[in-house]
Structures are given as structure tokens and as C-alpha cells.
């Protein structure tokens, strides 16, 4: 027997919280496409299916897909990827996210993050060595829910090539840390170690703010 319908993310979470499923019921949550209803009104709809069999309980919700973008994808955006992944893991939310990073230019495709970025992040318990640089591709605008640019220049490049119906996904990352009164995460590539520490400080605060924004919208329950 299969029963299917659609709910908003908030309704979906409410059902998860209150529904007491026996062990022979599998609970599957599959996402419908995110659709834009207005400038500030988007909602993700979830298709919930209840299938009866002899398996253990299973709850699977659609992942929130986040792409961090800088110029070459070896300093700022991999740092943001690592910091945000570390944050959601600490909050036991890793399974709710798909996190990636990319660059607007193809300078360093296939390279690991800058060794200085790796060192600064590692000193805060964050590992970046597994990340490999890549360039933003057209499919990213369709596949990701949030595309977070490190500065105005990269925001402009993304906005220029993004399909109009996906443009609402592009934001400056530091918009989620308005108390900093700063628009850009500065590129540390040509500076010293302080620049990489500064990047970490900024993206840590923006990551917290972004997570809180998702919660406020009802996309995520912390």
C-alpha cells in the first residue's frame, strides 16, 4: 500500500516529529521541484510516501544543496565548503545537506586548496585536503538550491550567466552576516597567513547566519 501527497518543509517536519511509525512501515520523503511563487516566496514541496513492508523505520528527506563560489576555487570557496560542512556535522545535520564549491574561472581545475588555506582550517579542526577545484557549469544553476558568492565580482559573473528563472538562488555569502558590515570575503591569495585567518572568521559567522536563515524560512529544523 502506498499513500502519497505533498507538504511544505515545515509540515513535513511536523509529521516526522509527531508520527509514531511501527517498525514494519518505511517512511520515505521525496522532494518535488522547488518553485518560485514570488520575489520572496518560494517553498519546497515534499512528496511523502508510506510503503508497508517488513523493513526497519527509514526517514529520508530531500537534501538542501549549497554551492560556494569564488574565483579559482582554491582559497575562499573551499574554505567555506569545509567550514559549513563542519558546522552541520557538529549539529548532526550532515545528512540534510549536499555541499560543494566551485570557481568562476578555470585557473586551478583539479587542484587541492591552497596549502595556506588548508593549514589555517586544520588549526581549527577543519580538513580541506579532499576538495578539488572545479569551474561552475551550467547544470549547477539547476541542481543547487543556494549559490553563495564570496564577493561582488563573482556574484556579477554568476548573475550574468545564470538562467533568469534560477537567478533567485544567487546571493553574496556575507549577506548572512549583516552585523559584519562587509559585502565581500577578501581574496587572501596574494597576502600572508592573516588573510586566511580572516577568511575563516568571516565564513564561520556567515555559515551560522545561513543556517539560521534556513531555519527561519522553515526549510530546516535545528
- Point out the catalytic residue in the list 100, 114, 187, 219: 187
Distance CA 10, CA 219 (A): 7
Distance CA 186, CA 191 (A): 10
- Point out the catalytic residue in the list 70, 100, 140, 145: 70
- Point out the catalytic residue in the list 62, 76, 116, 172: 76
Burial of 67: CB neighbours in 10 Å, binned 0-12, 13-18, 19+: buried
Q: How far is CA 58 from the centre of its chain?
A: 23
Does residue 70 have an active-site annotation? yes
Does residue 33 have an active-site annotation? no
Query: Which of 108, 109, 97, 5 is closest to 48 using CA atoms?
Result: 5
Q: What is the DSSP letter of 69?
A: E
- For residue 54, CA distances in Å to 25, 29, 220 come to 7, 18, 30
Report, as residue numbers or ranges, the catalytic residues.
Answer: 70, 76, 187
Amino acid at each position: 500500500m502506498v499513500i502519497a501527497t505533498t507538504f511544505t518543509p515545515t509540515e513535513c517536519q511536523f509529521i516526522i516529529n509527531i508520527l509514531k511509525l511501527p517498525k514494519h512501515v518505511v517512511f520515505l520523503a521525496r522532494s518535488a521541484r522547488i518553485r518560485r511563487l514570488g520575489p520572496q516566496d518560494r517553498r519546497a514541496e515534499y512528496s511523502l510516501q508510506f510503503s508497508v513492508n517488513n523493513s526497519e523505520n527509514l526517514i529520508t528527506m530531500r537534501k538542501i544543496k549549497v554551492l560556494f563560489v569564488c574565483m579559482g576555487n582554491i582559497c575562499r570557496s573551499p574554505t567555506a565548503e569545509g567550514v559549513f560542512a563542519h558546522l552541520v556535522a557538529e549539529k548532526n545535520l550532515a545528512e540534510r545537506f549536499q555541499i560543494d564549491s566551485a570557481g568562476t574561472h578555470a585557473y586551478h581545475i583539479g587542484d587541492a586548496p591552497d596549502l595556506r588555506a588548508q593549514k589555517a582550517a586544520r588549526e581549527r579542526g577543519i580538513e580541506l585536503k579532499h576538495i578539488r577545484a572545479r569551474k561552475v557549469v551550467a547544470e549547477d544553476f539547476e541542481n543547487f538550491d543556494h549559490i553563495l558568492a564570496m564577493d561582488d565580482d563573482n556574484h556579477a559573473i554568476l548573475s550574468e550567466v545564470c538562467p533568469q528563472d534560477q537567478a533567485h538562488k544567487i546571493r553574496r555569502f556575507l549577506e548572512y552576516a549583516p552585523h559584519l558590515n562587509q559585502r565581500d570575503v577578501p581574496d587572501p591569495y596574494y597576502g600572508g597567513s592573516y588573510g586566511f585567518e580572516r577568511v575563516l572568521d568571516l565564513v564561520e559567522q556567515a555559515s551560522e547566519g545561513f543556517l539560521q536563515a534556513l531555519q527561519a524560512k522553515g526549510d530546516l529544523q535545528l
